[in-house]
């Protein structure tokens, strides 16, 4: 377990060159957060709500920020219902600076 390494898809050092996450309006996406560090990460996707998968076939809370505890894996599902460009990041500013930030682009949608 790493003590301090923030990234999306293991690309923390390349964050300025990371491609945006592209989603299509109206789809439902599933995110998997794997926290292999010794710190909690409050993950936040602007513009959309996430449903936290409780892991036993039932869904839990609907939230804007998902807390990912040290050494855990959390799955969420999100209805992509907000076209435009959005931030997806850890709410801790020094984690964002360390690479836990991605742009999300939602394509299509109502005009």
What is residue 60's three-state secondary structure? strand
For 21-80, how does the pLDDT look when each residue is reduced to its tens digit (9 = 90+)? 999 999 999 999 999 889 999 999 999 999 888 666 665 778 899 999 999 999 999 999
- Contact (CB, 8 A) for 78 and 48: yes
What are the sequence ranges of the domains in the chain? 12-107
Tokens of 70: 């040290």
| 12-107 classified as CATH 3.40.50.1100 | no
What is the value of pTM for the model shown? 0.80
Count of residues making up the chain: 111
Residue range 80-107: mean pLDDT, rounded = 92
Rounded distance between C-alpha atoms, residue 46 and residue 93, angstroms: 15
């Amino acid at each position: 377990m790493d003590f301090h390494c923030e990234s999306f898809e293991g690309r923390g050092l390349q964050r300025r060159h990371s491609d945006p996450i592209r989603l299509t309006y109206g789809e439902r996406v599933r995110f998997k957060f794997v926290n292999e560090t010794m710190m909690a990460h409050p993950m936040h996707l602007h513009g959309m709500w996430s449903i936290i998968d409780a892991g036993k076939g039932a869904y839990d809370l609907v939230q804007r920020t998902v807390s990912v505890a040290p050494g855990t894996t959390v799955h969420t599902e999100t209805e992509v219902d907000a076209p435009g460009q959005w931030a997806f990041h850890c709410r801790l500013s020094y984690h964002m600076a360390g690479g836990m930030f991605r742009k999300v682009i939602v394509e299509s949608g109502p005009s």
